[in-house]
Amino acid sequence: MNIIEIRNLHKVYNTTHVPVYALNGIHLIFKEGEFAAIVGPSGSGKTTLLNIMGGLDEPTQGSVTVAGTDIFSLGQRRLIDFRLQHIGFVFQAYNLIPVMTAGENVEFIMHLQGRPRAERITRTRELLTSVGLADRINDRPNKLSGGQQQRVAVARALASKPRFILADEPTANLDSRSTENLLDIMEQLNIGEHITFIFSTHDPRVVRKARRVITIEDGKVSQDQEKSSGS
Of 126-165, which residues contact another protein (CB under 8 A)? 156-157, 160
Please say whether the beta carbons of 198 and 216 come within 8 A. Answer: no
Shortest CB 229 distance to another protein, Å: 29
CA 98, chain centre distance (Å):
20
Shortest CB 10 distance to ligand ADP, Å: 12
Which of 44, 51, 171, 181 touches another protein by CB under 8 A? 51
Write the interaction track for Mg ion spanning residues 17-56; mark x where CB under 5 A is met and - where it is not: ------------------------------x---------
Please say whether the beta carbons of 174 and 180 come within 8 A. Answer: no
Which of 12, 20, 67, 80 touches another protein by CB under 8 A? 80
Please say whether the beta carbons of 123 and 159 come within 8 A. Answer: yes
Q: How far apart are CA 215 and CA 202, in angstroms?
A: 10
Of 56-95, which residues contact ligand ADP (CB under 6 A)? none
Phi, psi of 60, deg, nearest 5: -75, -30
Residue 228 CB: number of other CB atoms within 10 A?
Answer: 6
Q: Closer to ligand ADP by CB, 46 or 120: give it.
A: 46
Using the rule CB under 5 A, is 196 a contact of Mg ion?
Answer: no
Q: How far apart are CA 11 and CA 128, in angstroms?
A: 37
Phi, psi of 113, deg, nearest 5: -75, -10
Which region among 35-43, 67-75, 89-97, 125-133 touches ligand ADP (by CB under 6 A)? 35-43
Shortest CB 35 distance to another protein, Å: 21
Please say whether the beta carbons of 58 and 22 come within 8 A. Answer: no
Contacting positions for another protein (CB under 8 A): 47, 51, 54, 56-57, 77, 80-81, 83-85, 89, 91-95, 97-100, 104, 107-109, 111-113, 156-157, 160, 169, 172
